[in-house]
Chain A
Amino acid sequence: MKTDITLTINGDAVREAVEPRTSLADLLRDNLQLTGTHLGCEMGACGACLVMLDGAPVHACLVLAVQASGHKVETIEGLNERGLIKDLQEKFHDRNALQCGFCTNGMLMSAQALLLDNPTPSRPEIREALSGNYCRCTGYEAIVDAISATAKMRSGQAGEAS
């Protein structure tokens, strides 16, 4: 028994028929081939599947697709194409804040959400904000450095503009 849902994904209106048990992550990955959202644990512990739901990061593995009906979803593909996180991406690249790349989507989501909420986070605050993002490769320090550098750049630019 499938249910029709309509939602906005990366700015596009999407209409899909899904089983009630389909997770938002499976909808994105399997139905829409938006494979930048990764699945590491499917129980909300690793953070690889984070997407923005109405602007706030949520675990796409814990949200049912039907629950997202009527809402706005933004994935890594959307943030990338809209150029919203270009500075974060560049700092991650400069600092080699990724190795295998599997956690990177979730890290960028958490980082973006943090910086919108707290534009000048301390290093402990950044580490705290990443408490739900598991990375096996980097040791985290490079990720903290990249987010810290982005925060400094963003707040510096904001200062110049004002």
Chain B
Amino acid sequence: MIPSKNHIGQSHRRKNAFRHLAGRGRFVTDLALPRMVHAAFVRSPMAKGNIVELDVSEAAAASGVVRVFTAETLNHTCVPWTGTLDHFAGMQSGAQNMLASNEVLWVGHPVVMILAHSRAEAEDACELVMLDIEDEDAVVDGDAALVKGTPLAAEGINSNMCFQTVLETPDLDDAFTRSAHVVEGKFTFGRHTAVTLEPRAIIADFDPSTGQLDVHHGTQTPYQFQDVYARHFGLSEGRVRVIAPDIGGSFGMKLHVYHEEMAAVAASLMLGRPVRFVADRLESFVSDIHARDHRVTARMALDAEGGILAMDVDDMTQIGAFSSYPRTSVAEGNQVIRLMGAPYQMPDYRGRLSVVFQNKVQTSQYRAVGHPIACAVTEALVDRAAELLDLDPFEIRRRNLLADDAYPHISATGYQFEKLSHQASLEKLHQMIGYEALRAEQIALRKQGIYRGIGIAPFVEITNPGAAFYGIGGARISAQDGAVIRLTPAGDVHCAISVTEQGQGTETIIAQIVADQLGVTPDQVKVTTGDTDNTPSGGATWACRGAGIGGETALRAGRKLQAQILTLAGEILQADPMHLALASGAVVDKTTGQERITLAEIGRIATYRPDTLPKGSDNSLTAAQHFAPSGYPFDFTNGIQASHVEVDIETGVTRLLKHWVVEDCGRIINPLLVDEQIRGGVVQGLGPAFFEECLYDDMGQMTNASLVDYLVPMAGEMPDIEIAHIETPTLDTILGAKGVGEAGTAAAGAAAMNAVNDALRPLGARISQTPMTPLRILTALGHV
């Protein structure tokens, strides 16, 4: 018999992990090219002002300095960029260029670029630049930004409102009128940032003798940047190569266009030599995108039995001085208002969104775009409703979560769900956490003055986005992916694919999928990613599309090559390809499993002795396939999380005791990698719930812009995270996989906030602001 092809679904370890464990990673920061120069930037020390004097003569004469650029000498090489999309009707943002020319718009805005033989010399020379900025009133607070008479946050805009929209069902007001109960709340979600351990890094290398621009770039989206560099610098796309090898974390942060990367490319084009920019950690805090920063007012209408009738939500999100490019800073808020109430059978809804400019670094897409805000608000209101109606948090969700047989379903906000498993997930979580025992323990411990809380949060996650995400808005962001698979002359398999690897294990799951199509082991499949010259074009890895779209692309490419190999084998063996199959590195008889000819022999004949093939045979051993989703606009996944915390009511310090996740990401390709993706995601949700916040003073100065002052989750503070799965494959693809990367982040903070409030409930206290710092908890308790 043919051995079963069962690598999909198995916990294969990552082959590329060996390199990292041996200290042999190939990060952009590790690369040194001949004639390379290093960039450092003089940045605005104030949030808003006019440049009145700029003198770089002393810096230009400093030791080791190769060139000094200002807006005057650099910006003309680049077509300015504007972070708007057509389908966000009425949105506005000022045009951006590499260096500030008149106005500075936030603390950290780059003004001067200095290139030197070492980064240290470039930094030394930065000290010698004379920059005089006339201070102006900065727009710091989002609410204040909308008050009439407040100065504009930037030039090129007509108000501080970047974008406004309202999403509404016709019966919304009626639903509130006839409701038996209404719960409401105001919520504040702080600014935080990605803090990838490897900061942003780029080496732009233009060769004037060939006209070729090679860009070694720590990015998750190499094709997007190939297009950006070609268009904005007037180059032919075929002469731009973006190489993204190992990337030290990205999480959405490394797919936006940044001033410094564009400047490195511009400088390399002008100098004809490699230009390296690596942000240091202090720069990262004032130049990487920040995330979230929402103020939400929300209310929920319920019937007498606790059935959710409607939500009415107002989200104000503060995005910085401009909308980021090319994906805009509006996508986050747009998803916030569309994901509200998503897990529930909720007929009516109104969501208002106001996206506001201010003089801070821009916010934009970061892991689980919009999800944590929508989830936290929805779940906080559901818990308040449960409290009001004296229902258990599980019971109110049992009554309201979409039934598992209610699909297909369209949400009140217009999302189409193919099939989700909320009710099954809820019950699985209930068993998994030993809910009754936890409640009993909670009650017993309260008598000893120990306050523990249990919080749950179901969620819906957007994955496998198609062209509806950005393409229809005019952004040149690929909605499809591509794979080229070939059998080598020695019978090995190589797959070049457009989805990229940042440690999720993309290369491993692609090898598993391809191996199953070609009857080999994953070890026999070499996967190449992250090089626009050597892989076909595609969207790469963002918004959970690596497995669902990239995996499907690999599967279809593999099947195409399988058919080619079987056809060729049929000609060599004088057999009907229908009676042949691939297994154990060979062509076998489909019925008996008996080996007929090895893949190595096929490779040898096709490559070295095509003369022995029947006349007219196609000896191709390469298959190319592109794939774009064409079924549902997104493959939504679902799940539920639970958090168990202990709050010290004397100090306000919260201890995370345990966290649980039940997740349904469709077909699981590699359980080991999926679980670690979820755990990492959970911690990225818990970080902003308890620790992470970009703090600004009234003048718009970021006051905690270092890894000493900005708190990130560390091992000692994080709980063990238990994970269970339900598998509901999408029927839109052969593979059936959906995404999983944002799931952990989507609901962790919501579960945690519900848990903290559950702990505080007997004390009559409640918190609705993140991060839930000890001071804020003490304030909620009335202690300060």
Contacts and interface: CB of A to CB of B under 8 A. Distances in A.
B684 interface: yes
B672 interface: yes
Contacts of A36: 22-25
B30 A45 contact: no
Contact of B706 (A43, A139, A140): A43
Nearest to B670: A96
B248 interface: yes
Contact of B20 (A98, A128, A133): A98
Interface residues of A, number: 56
Interface string B167-198: 00000000000000000000000000011111
A40 interface: yes
Interface in B697-723: 706-708, 712-716, 718, 720-721
Given A93-B21, A104-B21, A38 B120 contact: no
B248 A80 contact: no
A136 B195 contact: yes
A108 B21 contact: yes
Interface string A82-100: 0000000100111010111
A153 B721 CA distance: 24
Interface stretch (B154-162, B498-506, B586-594): B498-506
Given A93-B13, A135-B197, A102 B716 contact: no
A77 to B, nearest CB: 5
A16 interface: no
B19 interface: yes
Interface in B81-130: 120
B364 to A, nearest CB: 18
B280 A137 contact: no
Contacts of B25: 35-36, 38, 101-102, 104
Given A75-B23, A96-B14, A101 B246 contact: yes
A21 B121 CA distance: 12
Contacts of A43: 281, 706-708
Interface string A33-44: 111111111110
B720 A141 contact: yes
B27 A40 contact: no
A41 B20 CA distance: 19
A142 interface: yes
Interface string B27-48: 1011010000000000000000
Interface stretch (B302-310, B533-541, B602-610, B673-681): B673-681
A46 B198 CA distance: 11
Contacts of B707: 40-41, 43, 45-46, 134
B407 interface: no
A40 B281 contact: yes
Contacts of B402: none
Contacts of A21: 120
Contact of A131 (B281, B504, B682, B716): B716
Contacts of A124: 716
Interface in A1-59: 19, 21, 29-30, 33-43, 45-46, 48
B17 interface: yes
Contacts of A89: 18, 21-22
A157 B676 CA distance: 29
Given A43-B281, A80-B23, A101-B246, A96 B715 contact: no
B249 interface: yes
Nearest to A94: B13
Contact of B679 (A39, A46, A141): A141
A127 B23 contact: no
A161 to B, nearest CB: 25
Nearest to A102: B248
Nearest to B719: A141
A139 B197 contact: no
Contacts of A103: 197
Contacts of B13: 93-94, 96
B198 A92 contact: no
A100 B23 contact: no
A118 interface: no
A54 B247 CA distance: 31
Nearest to B684: A136
Contact of B280 (A42, A45, A92): A42
B470 interface: no
B714 A104 contact: no
Contacts of B16: 101
Interface string B601-621: 000000000000000000000
A127 B503 contact: no
B285 to A, nearest CB: 10
Contact of A139 (B195, B672, B682): B682
26 contacts: A33-B32, A34-B23, A40-B281, A40-B707, A45-B706, A77-B23, A80-B23, A96-B13, A96-B14, A96-B676, A99-B504, A100-B198, A100-B246, A101-B25, A102-B196, A102-B198, A104-B25, A108-B21, A124-B716, A130-B716, A137-B680, A138-B679, A138-B683, A139-B721, A139-B744, A142-B679
Given A41-B706, A46-B707, 20 more contacts: A21-B120, A37-B23, A41-B281, A75-B23, A92-B21, A93-B18, A100-B248, A101-B21, A101-B503, A102-B198, A102-B248, A104-B21, A131-B714, A136-B680, A137-B249, A139-B676, A139-B679, A139-B682, A139-B683, A140-B714
